[in-house]
Amino acid sequence: MTRPPTQRPTPRSDDDQTAPLSTEQPSDQHTDLDLLGTPELVQALLDDQLNAVRAAQAALPDIARAADLAVTRLQHAGRLVYVGAGTSGRLGVLDGVELLPTFSWPPERLVTLIAGGERAMFRAAEGAEDDEAQAVLDLQAHHVDAGDVVIVLAASGATPYAVAAARHATQLGALTIGVSNNPGSPLQAAVHVPITLDTGSEVISGSTRLKAGTSQKIVLNALSSAIMVRLHKVYGNLMVDLQATNRKLRLRALHLTVLASGADPDAARHALHDADGHVKTAIVMLRLGLNAEQARHALTAAGHSVRAVLDAHP
C-alpha cells in the first residue's frame, strides 16, 4: 500500500481564518430565506439538494478507487471502521449498522466511532470533536491495524477528532479513506484515498447537515454497496446475502430465491428451510440439485460467489 501522495493542495490550518471553509460561506442565494412562503422555502431547500448528487458524481473516480482498494483488504478478514463527529459521525454509524442485516456483514468486522461515544448519536457532544487524543485512544481500544479499512468523515475536513484518527490509522498501515466537503483540507492530506465533495455554501449558511450531509450519505451508500457487490454479496442485482430476521425479510428472502432460481415458491420455501434461511445456499441447491451441505461446500470453494458456482456447473 502506498502512502498518501506528497503532492497535495496545501492543507488549511485549523486556525486559518483568512480563508473560510467553503461550506461555511454565506450563500448568495435566497438571502431572504426567512421571508419565503412555505412552498417556496421547501422548494429552495430541495433544489439545493441536487447539488449533493452533482458533487458525488464528480467524485466517482475516487469512490471507485476506494472501493477497489477496500475489497483487497476485506477479502482477508479486515474490518470496516467508520470514524466521524456530529452529523458525519452519525452518518458513518448508520451506514455501518445497515450492512449487518442487508449484506450479513459480520458484526465483529464492523467498528463505528463517533466523537463523544454512543451518547453522541442522540445528543450533540460538540466539544468532543476537538479531542485528538481520544481519537487515538478509540482506535487503540479497538485494535485497529493494517488489515482494516478506515473511513473518516468530516464536512469541514478539519475536525480534530477525525483528522487525528485518519493520521493515526494511516500510520498503523490501515487503508484510510477520507470523505470531506472542502478542497485542500487536512483530512485530504492524511488519508490514502481522499474523496472531496465540493458542495459549497448551504442554503442555510453553515448548516452542513443539509447538502454536505446528503452528499456524504450518497457516497457512503455507493461506496459500501460497491464493496459488498465486489465481495459477492449480490447476484445479478439481487441482495442474496441478507439476514432474514423478521417476517418482512423472510418474505423478501423467499422472493429473491424464486427470482434467482426460477423455482416455484413452495420449492424455494423448502430449500430455504433446509438452508437455514440462507438465500445463497438455497439458490445453489435449487439450480444445481444439491442438498444444503453440498451447496454450502460449493459456495465456500468458490469464495462464496453464487455466480462462480453456477458458472462452474453449466
184, 211, 230: which is the final residue of a domain?
Answer: 230
* 222 lies in the same domain as 283: no
Residue 14 within a domain: no
pLDDT at 124: 80
Residue 132 C-alpha cell reads as: 485528538
Q: What is the pLDDT of residues 127-148, one digit of tens each?
A: 898 999 999 999 999 999 999 9
Q: Based on the fold, state whether residues 61 and 113 are members of the same structural domain.
A: yes
What's the pLDDT band for 7 if we cut at 50, 70, 90? very low
**131 and 251 housed in the same domain:** no
81 and 221 part of one domain: yes
Decide if 287 is inside a domain: yes
Owning domain of residue 210? 22-230
Q: Is residue 11 part of a domain?
A: no
Report CA-CA distances (Å) from 261 to 235, 275, 307, 311.
11, 14, 12, 14
Distance CA 211, CA 217 (A): 10
Identify the active-site residue in 24, 40, 98, 126. 98
Co-location of 51 and 127 in the same domain: yes
> Would you say 220 and 291 are in contact if contact means Cβ atoms under 8 Å apart?
no
When pLDDT is cut at 50, 70 and 90, the band that residue 21 belongs to is confident
Put simply, whether the predicted model's pTM sits higher than 0.85 gets the answer: yes
Structural domain contains residue 257: yes
Is the same domain home to 201 and 239? no
Given a cut of 70, whether residue 9 has pLDDT beyond it is no
Residue 3 pLDDT? 45
Give the model confidence (pLDDT) of 255-311 as tens digits. Answer: 999 999 999 999 999 999 999 999 999 999 999 999 999 999 999 999 999 999 999
Catalytic residue among 108, 129, 132, 293: 129
More confident residue, 15 or 34: 34
CATH number of the domain that residue 290 is part of: 1.10.8.1080
In a domain, 181, yes or no: yes
The confidence score (pLDDT) of residue 19 equals 55
129 belongs to the catalytic site = yes
Claim to verify: residue 174 and residue 141 sit in the same structural domain = yes
Q: Is 97 exposed, middle or buried (0-12, 13-18, 19+ CB in 10 A)?
A: middle
Same domain, 198 and 302: no
Task: Provide the 10 A C-beta neighbour count for residue 53.
Answer: 13
**Domain identity same for 116 and 247:** no
Residues 258 and 118 both lie in one domain: no
Does the pLDDT at position 165 exceed 70? yes
Would 175 be classed as within a structural domain?
yes
- Tell whether 26 and 159 lie within a shared domain: yes
Residue 24 is predicted with a pLDDT of: 65
| Structural domain includes residue 107 | yes
The pLDDT score that the predictor gives to residue 13 is 42
From edge to edge, which strands make up the β-sheet containing 110-114?
A: 110-114, 80-84, 149-154, 175-180, 193-196
Closest residue by Cα to residue 24 from 203, 215, 216, 201: 201
- Kindly report, residue by residue over 167-223, the tens digit of the pLDDT: 999 999 999 999 999 999 999 999 999 999 999 889 898 788 899 999 999 999 999
**pLDDT per residue over 23-68, tens digit each?**
667 677 788 899 999 999 999 999 999 999 999 999 999 999 999 9
Q: Is residue 207 in a domain? A: yes
Distance CA 42, CA 201 (A): 17
Residue 118 known to be catalytic:
no
Give the pLDDT of residue 126.
72
Mean pLDDT of 244-252: 91
Q: Which domain CATH number covers 100?
A: 3.40.50.10490
Dihedral sign for Cα 39, 45, 49, 51, please.
Answer: positive
Last residue of a domain, one of 212, 230, 248: 230
Q: How many domains does the chain have?
A: 2
Q: Same domain, yes or no, for 260 and 149?
A: no
Which residues have a Cβ under 8 Å from the Cβ of 65 and sit 6 or more positions away? 193
Query: Which domain-ending residue is among 177, 208, 230?
Result: 230
Asked if residue 71 has pLDDT above 60, the reply is yes
